[in-house]
Amino acid sequence: MISQKWSKLIRSLQQKKYRKAEQLFFVEGEKAVLELLASTWQVEAVFGTEVFLQRYPLQLKTAALVQQCSADELVKAGTFTSNDAALAVVKMPPQTDFVAHSHGFVLVLDQINDPGNLGTIIRVADWYGIKHIVCSPDTTDCYNPKVIAAAKGSFLRVTLHYQPLAPLLTAATLPVFGAYLGGDSIHQLRLQHSGGYVVLGNEANGISAELEPLIGRRITIPAFGGAESLNVGIATAIICDNLARLQTTQ
């Protein structure tokens, strides 16, 4: 069973202040835990059902602690409504500021509040081979359990940096695109460089006024129906897909 000490710790990690203090977070579910175990991330503990532990003995050798428990215990300790596999407690890697480079696209997130949206954006970035996401300090914590759940295993392959955005964009040597409801159609965009920064704004308020003067080109996804707006995760996927297509055709 999961000891009282570990149960208390795991439940506390649902809150940002405890994740920050302990420098730990947790990952739930069979696929995500297996991807984690195959990575270089430091796994402090894995709690798994008998079936999970018997099925993956070799993968579990990378964990510091492995303990059997019931599916009911996994549900009580974590956030999933059902989990018949595993839960892992993981050490956070060191946080670093983004170091600008001269190629590839970088997503820049300005005050993204919803954990599900951030998780989706991480997964989209991974799908399109984007390795870095730069977040404003007030963007939701990437180790929030809802973010990790939505990102699946993609959080292992996309590095998130939390830092003030204005200095980064001011010093940018690559184009800075901003996603707006009004702007140049992403379908008709022409790229002069193979990379740049793509700024995506807050779900309710869009890109902050502070950053507007730093946006080199406003881009938009043209609407063909009556919807008022798109979810920021969906918008990110559409923009990334078009940028990927433009890079291969131009």
Is the pLDDT reported for residue 249 higher than 80?
A: no
Express each pLDDT in 93-102 by its tens digit: 999 999 987 7
- Per residue in 110-163, pLDDT (tens digit) is 999 999 999 999 999 999 999 999 999 999 999 999 999 999 999 999 999 999
Average pLDDT over the chain, rounded to an integer: 95
Closest CA to 106 of 170, 177, 164, 171: 177
Higher model confidence: residue 248 or residue 13? 13
Model confidence at 76, pLDDT cuts 50, 70, 90, reads: very high
Structure tokens at 212: 């507007």
Give the pLDDT band of residue 194 (cuts 50, 70, 90). Answer: confident
**Model-level pTM?**
0.95
Residue 31: HSE in the Cβ half-sphere, 13 Å Cα cutoff: 8
pLDDT of residue 248: 64
Give the separation between CA 145 and CA 165, rounded to whole angstroms.
25
**Regarding predicted confidence, which is higher, 1 or 5?**
5
> At which residue do the structure tokens 């977070």 appear?
25
Alpha helices by DSSP H, listed for the chain, are 4-12, 16-22, 30-37, 50-55, 71-77, 115-127, 145-151, 165-170, 232-249
Given this model, what pLDDT does residue 250 score? 54
CB-based burial of residue 136 (10 Å sphere; 0-12 exposed, 13-18 middle, 19+ buried)?
buried
Evaluate if residue 4 carries a pLDDT over 90.
Answer: yes
Percent of residues, the chain, with pLDDT higher than 70: 98
Pairwise pLDDT comparison (102 vs 218), residue with the higher score = 218
Neighbour count for residue 149 (Cβ, 10 Å): 18
Residue 32, burial from CB neighbour count under 10 angstroms (0-12, 13-18, 19+): buried
Give the residue-averaged pLDDT of 61-72.
97
Cα–Cα distance measured from residue 164 to residue 99, given in angstroms and rounded to the nearest whole number: 13
Which among 20, 19, 76, 14 has a CA at the least distance from the CA of 47? 76
Question: Cα separation of 232 and 136, whole Å?
Answer: 15
Q: What is the mean pLDDT of residues 63-74?
A: 97
Alpha carbons 183 and 190: distance in angstroms, whole number: 14
Name 220's bridge partners.
Answer: 185
Q: Is the pLDDT of residue 103 over 80?
A: no
